[in-house]
Chains A and B, each alone.
Chain A
Amino acid sequence: MGDYIIELKGVTKKFGKNTVLSSIDLNIPEGEITAIIGASGEGKSTILKLITSFYRPTKGKIYYSKNDIFKNITRIKKEFGSSIESGSFYDALTIKENLMYFGRLYKVDSKTLKKRVNRLMHFINLYNARNVYAKNISLGMKKRLDLACALINNPKVLILDEPTADLDPLLRNQMLKIVKRINKNGTTVIFTTQLLEEVDEFCDNVAILYNEKIIEHGKVKNIKKKHHCSDMNCVFEKIFSRKGRKSYQESIIVKTKLETEQEKKRLILSLMKKKGKKHRRNKK
């Protein structure tokens, strides 16, 4: 075991007879941003929920600072902050009430909590909407509220499940900048995404999930170097064409048959963009 804050060793996760993850190994370096990338249904969220101890692995072990997480659940809960794709807060409470409530669950004392909530609301730019019910705020604000809830305990590890999903480019960029700022304070960030650009721009490490397994994982720059690529799109092209698999984007289309129309459109646009680039290259 090296200087990794989280390590997954031979982790398999089955839901009934359905295998989602099959004997995966993954190391998360401390203080860095790690992206887990894969198509919908590949098990990205499952990995995050395994790390947060919400799910128990069918096989294998998960370590946090070299300790089995299921033997240190209380520590995990105290030191981890987590945000899920759909958001995890109370719609019937205001932004401030949500933050105060979750802060109290972390047993933060009242004085400190009030200060921290105010700071967080300013930090994620929700202060002006602090007394608005969560059900009445926009999608971007919901994502930021969920992030703020995940930060309420000053976590050492921040786990974000598709924090930019369904956001327009401007909001996505804003969100990723916030994540980067959090990371600069020393927080280890693990997040899932389907967008390769995010990996290129914001991540130190990446794990590529495909068919129940992690097929590539390491430093982004090293992976790019290994495949002689300047961006992750190129890396993906090479990985998928070399292994004779369906392209990553095609696999996404297949996997996302049941996903929201909006997400589908986004992915199809991305595919068209990709094909357009290919077409232009071929012309040249």
Chain B
Amino acid sequence: MYFTLCSIIKKNLKIFFRSKISSISVILIPLVIILFAGVAFNSTDLSNVQIGIHSNINDNLEGNIIKEFEKHNFTIEYYPTKEDCIDSVKLSESQLCVSFIESDEIIFHVDDSRVNIADLLINNVKSSANIEASNRGGILAQNLIDTIEKTKRDLPSKISNLEDTLKLAETNKDFLGSIKILNTEVDAAIKQLEDGQETVNNTNTKNKIKEAVIELGKIKSNNDDLSSNISSAKIKESEIIESLKSNINELENVVQDLGKEGMISAKKIISPFDIHVQPINSGSKKRDQLIPSLLSLIALFGATLLSSTFVMKAKKSRAYFRNFITPVKDITFLLGTYFTCLIILLIQFLIVFGGLWFILKINIFTMPLELLSALLASLTVFILIGMFLGYLFRSEETIIFSSVIFSAILMFFSNTILPLENISKNLMKFASLNPLVISDSMLKKIILFNIGFENLTNEFIVMGIFSLIFLVLTYIFRRTTRRIR
């Protein structure tokens, strides 16, 4: 079988490479794609973004935010009305419209049909606006802090005043006692005067004494009123004193707290805790993050189209009959096609890796064994899918069309266009078994995060099962669709 298999592969490769234009294009197109992508995404920022601005306010808020936008090299275009600004987004002239409605309100208008860029753009622009919002918040917070600081400085003297008042109130407590003593003395004087009145015979004197008693009675009555007033005042005074005491305590606590380190900080007030987003592949450019997905896509489209074309050409070849009548097993022909495609695709990837290394200076071979194994697993599944489609359909058009459609479906239900998390839960279960998703995930783990075999076991098992399923299906369809009827 080995001898025959080698002959089939050798023959396939000869035929493939003799068609110079097709072989060159099959091998070099992925290199061109990856080089273009590498050059195009060779940055960490967004570029060529135009932001439409519409403003109703005359405030330096707008100017400051725009300055932040310009730091990101965003182009700024002013529009007289909000509608014009929004229309510029609809007409794809601007990627985003920023509308300054009032001094404290900014609205972003974004074309969310461009799902892949909308979030990225909003995040980027928001971060610019947030810088200005933080600046303004900082000023307000600083004013607040200054007021608190002044209060902190003034409080001790105020407390001192309160304490003086308290002392005064305490001294007033004794005044009531003095009045009572005075009343007793007044009573004694009245009694003495009444006693003296009886001993005095002079009517005039008597009358004078009587008048004096009446006056003293009035004084006593006034003293009693005063005493009663002072008593009620005393009760209230006690309450006030208690309240003053507790207020003083609280003020002292406040003064103590204000004195604590770090309490009075504008930054702390605006943002009580620090949030740092630290990308786990920090420092890598967009192209570096794109490489695993690009490699998976090249593997998918390259393998399915190449293998389905190989099968189609074999079926349509005038030599198909002679191959059939030779004593060679079907599985040998299948393996022949599989290995031929694998060799061509490995050559293709070797050139792509060479391009990455020599032209873009990207080294993805930090884990060569894992990378090669993941690539082999992915290529095997995709080649067998293409071969299956090649045997499933009869006409050339249908085979090519089905390969493209099948690859497009795999691509659509992967993270390439939209994150998988956007799709429904039920569909997500199936989508997570998508060979492209698994291939992408494996290559990402290996290339970006240097994850080894021990954490890739599940992916390899699933890819192995897929390979087996498609090998069996291809074998069955080769037997049933060949012309033994």
Contact = CB atoms under 8 A, between A and B. Distances in A.
A88 B11 contact: no
A93 B11 contact: yes
Nearest to B323: A105
B240 to A, nearest CB: 111
Contacts of A106: 326-327
A90 B328 contact: no
Interface stretch (B14-22, B91-99, B378-386): B14-22
Interface string A71-107: 0001001101010101111111100010001101111
B484 A105 contact: no
Contacts of B15: 90, 92-93
B3 interface: yes
Interface stretch (B133-141, B313-321, B462-470): B313-321
B75 interface: no
Contacts of B284: none
B319 A107 contact: no
Contacts of A52: 325
Nearest to A161: B321
Interface residues of B, number: 24
Nearest to A81: B325
A22 interface: no
A86 B321 CA distance: 10
A274 to B, nearest CB: 34
Given A92-B15, A93-B14, A101 B321 contact: no
Given A104-B3, A105-B7, A74 B318 contact: no
Contacts of B484: 53-56
B324 interface: yes
B121 to A, nearest CB: 52
B318 A88 contact: yes
A99 to B, nearest CB: 11
A175 interface: no
B317 A80 contact: no
A80 B3 CA distance: 21
A89 B15 CA distance: 12
Nearest to B328: A105
B114 interface: no
Contacts of A101: 7, 11
Given A74-B327, A77-B326, A106-B326, A15 B318 contact: no
Contacts of A88: 318-322
B483 interface: yes
Interface string A103-115: 0111100000000
A149 interface: yes
A92 B14 contact: yes
B56 interface: no
Contacts of A80: 325
Interface string B219-230: 000000000000
B71 interface: no
B150 interface: no
Contacts of B8: 105
B318 A89 contact: yes
Interface string B287-328: 000000000000000000000000000000111111111111
Interface in B318-343: 318-328
A197 B103 CA distance: 105
B485 interface: yes
Contact of A105 (B317, B318, B320, B326): B326
Interface in A136-160: 149, 153
B14 A107 contact: no
B483 A54 contact: yes
A87 B318 CA distance: 7
Nearest to A83: B322
B271 interface: no
Given A77-B325, A78-B327, A105 B4 contact: yes
A149 B322 contact: yes
Given A15-B485, A55-B485, A104-B7, A86 B325 contact: no
B19 A92 contact: yes
B326 to A, nearest CB: 4
Contacts of A84: 321
A280 B327 CA distance: 54
Contacts of A153: 326
Contacts of B7: 101, 104-105
Contact of A107 (B4, B317, B320): B4
Contact of B325 (A54, A87, A104): A54
Contacts of B328: 105
A101 B12 CA distance: 11
A90 B319 contact: yes
Contacts of B318: 86-91
Indicate the member of B325, B326, B328 with the most A CB atoms within 10 Å: B325
Contacts of A56: 484-485
Nearest to A70: B484
A86 B18 CA distance: 23
A33 to B, nearest CB: 20
A87 B4 CA distance: 22
A49 B484 CA distance: 9
Contacts of A49: 483
Contacts of B322: 82, 88-89, 102, 149
Interface string B1-45: 001100110010011001100000000000000000000000000
A236 B362 CA distance: 79
Indicate the member of A80, A84, A102 with the most B CB atoms within 10 Å: A102
Contacts of A55: 483-485
B16 to A, nearest CB: 9
Given A149-B322, A153-B326, 6 more contacts: A77-B325, A86-B318, A88-B320, A88-B322, A91-B318, A106-B326
**Which 7 A-B pairs have CB atoms at the shortest separation, nearest pair first?**
A88-B322, A104-B7, A105-B326, A77-B327, A92-B15, A88-B321, A90-B319
6 contacts: A49-B483, A82-B325, A88-B319, A88-B322, A89-B319, A102-B322
Interface of B: 3-4, 7-8, 11, 14-15, 18-19, 317-328, 483-485
